[in-house]
């Protein structure tokens, strides 16, 4: 198994922070005597991604130089491109309790066994106002990512991670492939080019269409749904997975497409998160990455194509992975097929286009949206979930 097939990870080496069996036993024994810190759901997602190399080249929670570099100009202190801070923040009580320690045992929940040891390299004050404006382009607390950031502690503890065990999950076991495992899956399938698709939603015809447009020019498709924390009104992970399975069963070629879980928490940081998502997918082995309209956006905080434009702020070699930009797509009755403003010359009246609000209203009334908008199998799953 090669670390660099089919594309080198960000920074060149696929990080693996998970200890082998002997080392894990020693680490667990050491952790038993260290001050303990419970990490929140979002930071636990980051810990899992750090452990498996999804955030290569990071080997722990970021220190101040990296943090400031990311906020100021989207680069690590090493000069490598990076768009979203990955930090461990603690409130005042925890800071007083563990702030002076050289090593801290990190626990996934109150009373749970430690799953990692953090070798502390420093601590610094989290500049929340600056982070809000630079990463989220707003300090509005109505923004779910800004809110989550302001809800976290004021002090960041930086350090290198040594991981005893990955966070446990009781769902999607077969779909939780690490970057080393997706790379191996691509190798086994002989895919030399792979396009990654990020989603936190059920997939309707428009997104199926852009995935398949992308698949026309590469060897394989990785549908990579984000399954970490999302906002409360997003469709729950279990329901989404049922939708993906129904789509794959009926409409996707199994030798050309696969689904795996992306364990990240959602930031809703729009353009910057698009860059971060792309870099992480490169670590999973994707050579291409789909960037649609309003990628990782929420509300009206970002322009429709801001997440595509931001790729222009980097030299293409800096990111390595190739972004594939798509416009809004739809079924057109005159074309008798899917298209976009780029490929369909017809009027709005000829196009099957529904607002998110309208779709939710139809589904809650037990009504399928038109099959040109949503596959009936997917619609039925969403209807059943809304009526449960
Ligand atoms: Zn048309």
Angstrom distance (rounded) from CA 283 to CA 260: 14
Max Cα distance, the chain (Å): 70
How many other C-beta atoms are found inside a 10 Å radius of the C-beta of residue 380?
Answer: 17
Mean pLDDT for 273-294 is 97
What is the per-residue pLDDT across 257-282, written as a single tens digit (0 to 9) for each? Answer: 999 999 999 999 999 999 999 999 99
**Cα 110 to averaged position of ligand 1 atoms, centre (Å):** 56
d(CA 308, CA 323): 8
- Å from CA of 344 to ligand 1 middle: 4
**Minimal CA–CA distance to 261: which of 350, 166, 338?**
166
pLDDT confidence of residue 1: 45
How far, in Å, from the CA of 334 to the mean position of ligand 1?
A: 5
- Res 2 pLDDT > 80: no
Average pLDDT of the segment spanning 40-55 = 97
Task: Give catalytic residue positions.
Answer: 200-201
Nearest Cα to 126, choosing from 142, 150, 106?
Answer: 150
Q: Tell whether the model's pLDDT for residue 153 goes beyond 80.
A: yes
Summarize the confidence of residues 319-341 as an average pLDDT: 97
Q: How far is the CA of 339 from the centre of ligand 1 (A)?
A: 7
Can you give the pTM of this predicted structure? 0.97
6 alpha carbon – ligand 1 mean position (Å)? 37
Quick one: 213 exposed, middle or buried, by C-beta within 10 A (0-12, 13-18, 19+)? middle
Residues 6+ apart with CB under 8 A from 337: 331
Average pLDDT over residues 290-308: 96
CB 157 within 8 A of CB 64: no
Q: How far is the CA of 292 from the centre of ligand 1 (A)?
A: 20
Token pair for residue 185? Answer: 């899956």
Specify the pLDDT at position 388.
Answer: 80
Q: Band of the pLDDT at 160, cuts 50, 70, 90?
A: very high
Q: What radius of gyration do the chain's Cα atoms show?
A: 21
Give the pLDDT score at 205: 97
Strand, helix or coil for residue 213: helix
Q: How far is the CA of 328 from the centre of ligand 1 (A)?
A: 13
What is residue 387's predicted lDDT score, i.e. its pLDDT?
86
Q: Give pLDDT, residue 110.
A: 95
> How many angstroms does the Cα of residue 332 sit away from the middle of ligand 1?
5
Average pLDDT, the chain: 96
- 326 to each of 102, 133, 188, 251, 303, how far by Cα in Å? 48, 27, 29, 21, 15
CA of 375 to the centre of ligand 1 (A): 20
Q: How far is the CA of 214 from the centre of ligand 1 (A)?
A: 20
Q: What is the per-residue pLDDT across 77-91, written as a single tens digit (0 to 9) for each?
A: 999 999 999 999 999
The residue with tokens 């109150």 is 110
Q: How far apart are the CA of 50 and the centre of ligand 1, in A? A: 45
CA of 337 to the centre of ligand 1 (A): 8
The residue-averaged pLDDT of 87-113 equals 96
Distant-in-sequence, close-in-space partners of 122: CB < 8 Å, separation ≥ 6: 63, 64, 157, 158, 159
CA 382, CA 242: separation in Å to the nearest integer?
A: 9
CA distances for 368 relative to 235, 328, 375, 376, angstroms: 17, 21, 9, 7
């Amino acid at each position: 198994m090669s670390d660099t097939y089919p594309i080198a990870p960000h920074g060149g080496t696929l990080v693996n922070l998970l200890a082998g069996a002997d080392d894990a036993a020693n680490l667990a024994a050491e952790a038993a005597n260290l001050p303990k810190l419970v990490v929140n759901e979002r930071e636990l997602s980051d810990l899992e991604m750090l452990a498996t190399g999804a955030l290569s080249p990071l080997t722990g929670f970021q220190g101040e130089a990296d943090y400031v570099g990311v906020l100021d100009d989207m680069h690590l202190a090493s000069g490598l491109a990076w768009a979203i801070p990955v930090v461990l923040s603690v409130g005042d009580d925890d800071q007083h309790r563990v702030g002076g320690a050289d090593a801290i045992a990190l626990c996934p929940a109150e009373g749970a066994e430690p799953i990692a040891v953090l070798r502390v390299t420093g601590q610094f004050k989290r500049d929340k106002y600056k982070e809000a404006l630079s990463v989220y382009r707003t300090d509005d607390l109505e923004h779910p990512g800004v809110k989550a950031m302001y809800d976290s502690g004021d002090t960041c503890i930086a350090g290198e991670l040594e991981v005893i065990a990955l966070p446990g999950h009781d769902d999607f076991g077969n779909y939780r492939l690490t970057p080393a495992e997706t790379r191996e899956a691509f190798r086994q399938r002989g895919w030399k080019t792979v396009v990654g698709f990020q989603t936190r939603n059920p997939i309707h015809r428009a997104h199926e269409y852009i995935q398949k447009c992308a698949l026309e020019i590469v060897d394989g498709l990785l549908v990579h749904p984000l399954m970490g924390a999302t906002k409360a009104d997003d469709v729950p992970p279990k329901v989404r997975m049922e939708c993906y399975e129904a789509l794959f069963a009926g409409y996707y070629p199994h030798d050309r497409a696969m689904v795996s879980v992306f364990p990240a928490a959602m930031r809703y940081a729009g353009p910057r998160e698009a860059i971060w998502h792309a870099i992480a997918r490169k670590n999973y082995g994707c050579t291409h990455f789909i960037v649609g309209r309003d990628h990782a956006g929420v509300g009206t905080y970002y322009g429709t194509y801001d997440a595509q434009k931001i790729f222009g702020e980097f030299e293409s070699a800096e990111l390595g992975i190739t972004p594939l930009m798509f416009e809004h797509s739809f079924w057109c009755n005159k074309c008798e097929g899917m298209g976009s403003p780029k490929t369909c010359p017809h009027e709005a009246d000829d196009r099957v286009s529904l607002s998110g609000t309208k779709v939710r209203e139809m589904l809650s009334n037990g009504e399928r949206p038109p099959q040109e908008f949503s596959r009936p199998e997917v619609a039925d799953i969403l209807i059943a979930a809304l009526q449960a």
